[in-house]
Chain A
């Protein structure tokens, strides 16, 4: 009798604690974000926001082709079928032909008026639909866009401040939300955030702040080849890496972003697959190029680049990085043919420092502003300590100004000559950079016109030759010539060793063997539409 009762109790316990059954087509993802990214159209929380609350719910005029793992993700037609600079229009006027027959998830037609309405939403603060939060996330993505008008129902004309051949890249960041939904919800963006409507492959079923966002397949999606195979995607904010790892191993989610490197063996042991791929990310030291800085001497910059044992650093990170050889990695279309080979050669580094007049009693003093954590920063403390040892081993006197991530971001809003850096005595900064498009890879970081607050040329690098090369790339309307010009820019930057290039992240994510069909693109963004759950 008691034996039977015991058995029944054990069976009951198992029944009660067994994980609930989930739909075969539901993918559950643990994000690194601590809250659901902004859902109104222009996501916050960096490119993780774009990945989960951007290109899932919305489209841009120019989308990203995320279907291949072996080549760099490039732009492709999205809500616009074609675009071109107006011939004889000094390169400042662009015509975008819109895709016909596209409908928002609420049935609203997508047309030229919608494009104008959405651009006013972020660029015209006098318009009733202007949303400062969306403007804050998107204005810097279209720094040259100054004019927009509908030519006809499916044609828009966009005007840029200067000739900008790379303008289509900029337009890939502007996403289009439904004006009807905004009207329907009392013209209140806070309400729209809970019930957003886009044209994207997934529609939002529910947003529970700080808990989850539920997306489901939009059967009426215009790109029939990209109608999602999944029924649903559930997104959970999980800022703590240990929580994400446990949730995946316990079967509460099927996919986690950025597993901690030391959790990788345990995840593999638990049958999870670790998916990585190179992507446009750059972890480097951006030096001060103002008078008096040791970095103004090319021999010092080259010595620093040759002092770093990147293979050792890769080992430290459990293999989750690529050894950097420039702004972009070898094999990237813009890599070019630099003659300076960035590698580990401490003897050459010491020789260069000696040639520059430095010795054991007169070391080049470098002080880098670093963060304790942060988006894209990988593992900043152990990585920086490792690099510090390498640098000091060849004769540098390297120290750090350590600060919290947001403090470092604020710190970077002023150039090296600003109060913050002057007070801290720093002559370098370590902020990882997304190098997705030519503007974000080169113009904003290396062009002399883009010193903060206008751009992110923090070290005040002023090189007329480099400016001219970047300008050439931005005024090359022929695609092949544009790629060649960008490769010339990169070749020159590496040969001048303008930064200390250290690592490229590998964008790791861990997933259950149930997740099938995912292709990890060489991009910050990913396509969830081909995924199925086994």
Chain B
């Protein structure tokens, strides 16, 4: 098992290198000059040139990439051209906020999806199955930023029950596990969990349905096992597929929350990316995207390792 994990970890090195190259290239391919975003339109050329030199944007792109790779490998990530603060510090604090929201959305989406998907797969009544399938369909179809705005209108503006924006109360710094902060999380969590809820419900339902039609289930029934014991075996067999999809969805939640975080002014990586895009803050864009990409890779690796625990056939394969 350890060998398997190590081997997968080594495979990550060339992938990580490729990701860093891709991130750098994509950020630099976008139109616009990074310095133009931080200076007024009629700033003197010598000031713009000095800033380019100061931030190293006057060097050829391969040189810029090499320098960025070196500082990144040292864990530095450089300095934000928008704020002058270290990128690692900016990304670190934003990443923590995003993780909090992503974990909450994962908990809501995955737990509901397992219950709903299993219920639909087991349902004798077509009504239950169709109801759950409809919920899943709505989940994957509704644009989550639109849902976010609707939720804000209903629960913040009309009913006045929940705050529409921010990490927490105005007199608090950072996030804490208490009710005033949780109130701020409820709407973004719901908006963020809708897509993974839809995807996971469909996955759980179809996987369990497929497993229920397998011969081993009939054999278990013939052996006299009760429904609860059979459900345990079914879930165990469904786990590898569901885990793989969960891993992807969790990754999407962390990397794809830019619109939700902007709508709710939630100061996570999505909000940071939004701000960095508008300011053409390349060091922040590169640093955030790279951290998210690495996190996605590590998440996939973790899911793969867990899958081998659950289903040793994967390891053998």
Please list the residues of chain A having a beta carbon within 8 angstroms of any beta carbon in chain B.
16-17, 19-20, 22, 28, 34-35, 38, 44, 46, 125, 132-133, 135-137, 139-140, 143, 189-190, 193, 206, 208-212, 234, 236-240, 242-243, 246-247, 249-252, 270, 403-407, 409-410, 412-413, 431, 444, 452-456
Contacts and interface: CB of A to CB of B under 8 A. Distances in A.
Contacts of A452: 42
Contacts of B133: none
A210 B167 CA distance: 11
11 contacts: A34-B271, A140-B43, A193-B84, A239-B278, A240-B263, A243-B264, A249-B157, A252-B163, A252-B164, A252-B166, A406-B31
B156 interface: yes
Contact of B156 (A140, A246, A453): A246
Contacts of B82: 35, 44
B164 A136 contact: no
B265 A454 contact: no
Contacts of A136: 35, 38-39, 43, 47-48, 51
A410 B32 contact: yes
Nearest to B86: A190
Residue of A133, A234, A452 with highest tally of chain B CB at under 10 A: A133
B160 A240 contact: no
Enumerate the 10 nearest inter-chain pairs by beta-carbon distance, A residue then B residue, closest first: A34-B275, A453-B45, A406-B32, A407-B31, A250-B156, A246-B164, A407-B32, A249-B157, A410-B33, A410-B36
A209 B82 CA distance: 11
B262 interface: yes
A403 B31 CA distance: 9
A412 B164 CA distance: 38
Contact of B36 (A17, A44, A406, A456): A406
Given A190-B85, A252-B165, A239 B47 contact: no
B183 interface: yes
A17 B161 contact: yes
Interface string B145-169: 0000100110011001111111101
B160 A250 contact: yes
A210 B47 contact: no
Nearest to A249: B157
Interface of B: 31-33, 35-45, 47-48, 50-51, 54, 82-85, 90, 93-94, 149, 152-153, 156-157, 160-167, 169-170, 173, 179-180, 183, 262-265, 267, 271-272, 274-275, 278-280
A140 B44 contact: yes
B126 to A, nearest CB: 36
B165 A236 contact: yes
Residue of B51, B267, B278 with highest tally of chain A CB at under 10 A: B278
B195 to A, nearest CB: 19
Nearest to A16: B179
Contact of A246 (B44, B157, B173, B278): B157
Given A190-B85, A453-B48, A454-B45, 9 more contacts: A17-B183, A19-B160, A189-B84, A243-B264, A246-B157, A250-B160, A252-B163, A409-B37, A413-B48
A126 to B, nearest CB: 12
Contacts of B156: 246, 249-250, 252
A238 B38 CA distance: 19
A137 B40 contact: yes
B167 A211 contact: yes
Given A208-B173, A406-B36, A454-B44, A17 B167 contact: no
B33 A212 contact: no
Secondary structure call for the B interface: loop
A238 B166 CA distance: 9
A454 B280 CA distance: 23
Contact of B44 (A28, A46, A125, A139): A139
A362 to B, nearest CB: 33
A243 B275 CA distance: 15
Contacts of A239: 262, 274-275, 278
Residue of A136, A212, A409 with highest tally of chain B CB at under 10 A: A136
Contacts of A270: 157
B172 to A, nearest CB: 10
Contacts of B32: 404, 406-407, 409-410
A455 B41 CA distance: 9
A413 B42 CA distance: 8
B17 to A, nearest CB: 29
A243 B278 contact: no
A410 B157 CA distance: 39
Contacts, number: 164
A431 B41 contact: yes
Nearest to B268: A210
Contact of A242 (B48, B149, B161, B279): B149
B82 to A, nearest CB: 7
A322 to B, nearest CB: 23
Contacts of B43: 136, 139-140
B163 A410 contact: no
Contact of A35 (B93, B169, B275): B275
Contacts of B152: 242-243, 246, 250
B80 to A, nearest CB: 9
A24 to B, nearest CB: 15
Given A236-B165, A243-B165, A404-B32, A412 B41 contact: yes
B90 A209 contact: yes
A338 B161 CA distance: 56
B272 A246 contact: no
Contacts of B272: 210
A46 to B, nearest CB: 7
A242 B93 CA distance: 25
Nearest to B167: A211
Contact of A240 (B31, B47, B50, B265): B265
Contacts of A19: 160, 163
Contact of B42 (A234, A238, A456): A456
Contact of B265 (A17, A243, A403, A453): A243
Nearest to B81: A133
Given A133-B38, A139-B44, A190 B165 contact: no
B280 A243 contact: no
Contacts of A210: 94, 267, 271-272, 275
Contacts of A454: 44-45
B76 to A, nearest CB: 14
A209 B179 CA distance: 23
Contacts of B33: 406, 410, 413
Contacts of B274: 34, 239
Given A35-B82, A252-B163, A132 B183 contact: no
A239 B263 CA distance: 9
Given A190-B85, A243-B264, A246-B157, A140 B40 contact: yes
Contacts of A406: 31-33, 36-37, 278-280
A140 B42 CA distance: 7
A251 B54 contact: no
A410 to B, nearest CB: 4
Residue of B47, B180, B265, B279 with highest tally of chain A CB at under 10 A: B265
A54 to B, nearest CB: 13
Nearest to A40: B84
A400 B116 CA distance: 50
A352 to B, nearest CB: 31
Contacts of B31: 403-404, 406-407, 410
B235 to A, nearest CB: 35
B166 A240 contact: no
